[in-house]
Structure 1
């Protein structure tokens, strides 16, 4: 079977580290050598947690051949800023980057922009955080869906073919090929376009996480990858196939990954790898996401045997390594 192996890691700086992120660098080097597909850099909340996009850029400078999935919530991140940051990272890594968009609340820039459009509300100065209605689970799901549409749309406003860079004529880009997004939604107003072209993989890979209680129809419409929990895994393949059909997409357009941990019922690396590969195949998953912090030594010992059994797809870009097709356009 073909299956991806993603490792989840929260980058932190320890006061005892002589080199910044020394433990993270050592772990990522070993994971890359063992054949892991990518590292997911999670958005930690503890003291010492770092911005995953900044860490990904730093690590990519040390390991340019590896792949990176940064995590960011809708909270505190205006869509245009996050889209620009991720696309810059994706171009810098030659198409080896992705984003886990986590459902959350709004940001003060977007919230004010929406309020200023509403004639029934009094505009509020930008420095003052303004709550937007429906900050509950269903409201967050709706916000995530709109945010995902804005991201994928922005990432396609400046096609690579528009970049000319003609020094003789002084023409930077063919502006007729660059299209503003012009999004006017319930939670966001985003004009666009972005100020830089798409990446070698078309656009960054967009990942959804079912821990955010998202609508599967929204996931199927916008995401490239879906990560499900252990209890969701048995029904996930069928449920995702149904959601994709309703969204007018093929099941093969999305990668379905199961988040799990190393089993304790077996001890040797080979037995552990066999158990994980069997679980992946039994539930029709396209790969695994394994948390790294608790047992890094055991995980790294298991990786070579697990990679040998799952046989991740070849390819330099993150999209290719996940077995995903090239993007054909943002979801409507």
Structure 2
């Protein structure tokens, strides 16, 4: 069974773009499947979508996951930004949507201003994203110069969403990507409803501390929602401390952990020297048998996406 390795990077005040470029180059050569660009405060981290676009120009064969919270991000704007990145990278991008608060644009027209539950906001936001990403299918783009027809408008549909948190009409103004829509990642650290995660996400990241608890809850959610385990990539997230443990020993421990919980791969968050991280990755690659693919969806071993209304 092949698996994936995702590398976390927070590019900004501590890790410069130039340093990140060197790490991504080494990670690519080592066998890392994708780079997750973390979000944070404006004084600490650059906009992950901008960083991803810059790095993708240098490394067109790599895969990218950008972080973005619901806070200060209107769904239509974020959907358009991430889909633009996914199209520019030929289907090699995804979004880790983090649960948060609202945004100034959406709050002005929110149907229910008393709604505050973050896990409910995340679920509604995720549904809006997938609906928008599917609102302009690639088949609708004709570009027929002879007839002057740009697109088959009967295939382009408004989502006309009105929920508790958001009112979004759509559609988006550009077609879907080579992987149909960007990969949507949920993060177990956000305390989401597991039925929502299983119904809406393409991948979920589980921290080491909560592996037993979350794995059991996910299994229950698959039964409730009616999706198969193979429909979602489950990644175990590990923070690698800066210590003197040999890379081979660390890699063996991580590979055993992946096998124990049946994870589809690992997300590695370095807290120390990146050279040590890359040494661990080199030792992990032969143990995990890393997967690849022309799109991020293929690299994660995911099936074609289900429809937003499925």
Using the size of structure 1 for normalisation, the TM-score is 0.89
Q: Does 1:297 align with 2:278?
A: no
Deviation at 1:13, TM superposition (A): 4.4
Take 1:194 and 1:265, find their aligned partners in 2: how far apart are those partners? 48
Take 2:42 and 2:159, find their aligned partners in 1: how far apart are those partners? 36
Deviation at 1:134, TM superposition (A): 4.2
With 81-90 and 261-270 compared, the bigger mean Cα shift is at 261-270
* Equivalent pair of 2:33/2:292 in contact (CA under 8 Å): no
Change (3 A) 1:284 1:264: farther
Instruction: Show the 5 A alignment for 1:1-332.
Output: 1-13=1-13, 21-45=17-41, 47-114=43-110, 132-135=113-116, 139-262=117-240, 267-331=245-309
**Per-residue CA shift, 1:142-172, capped at 9, x if unaligned?**
0000000000111001111111111111111
Identify the residue that residue 125 of structure 1 maps to in structure 2: none
User: Structure 2: any 5+ residue segments left out of the alignment?
Assistant: none
Change (3 A) 1:316 1:255: same
Change (3 A) 1:233 1:331: farther
Take 2:40 and 2:244, find their aligned partners in 1: how far apart are those partners? 30
Where 2:80 maps in the other structure, the secondary structure is: helix
With 244-253 and 152-161 compared, the bigger mean Cα shift is at 244-253
Where 2:8 maps in the other structure, the secondary structure is: strand
Take 1:31 and 1:232, find their aligned partners in 2: how far apart are those partners? 27
**Per-residue CA shift, 1:81-129, capped at 9, x if unaligned?**
00000000000000000000001111111111125xx7xxxxxxxxxxx
Deviation at 1:266, TM superposition (A): 7.3
Take 2:222 and 2:297, find their aligned partners in 1: how far apart are those partners? 18
Aligned CA RMSD, in angstroms, stands at 1.8
Change (3 A) 1:209 1:283: same
Take 1:134 and 1:213, find their aligned partners in 2: how far apart are those partners? 17
Looking at CA atoms only, which structure, 1 or 2, has the larger radius of gyration?
1
Change (3 A) 1:164 1:170: same
* Equivalent pair of 2:241/2:272 in contact (CA under 8 Å): no
**Per-residue CA shift, 1:240-274, capped at 9, x if unaligned?**
13212211211110011111133789732222211
Take 1:209 and 1:147, find their aligned partners in 2: how far apart are those partners? 14
Using the size of structure 2 for normalisation, the TM-score is 0.95
Aligned length: 310
* Equivalent pair of 2:242/2:271 in contact (CA under 8 Å): no
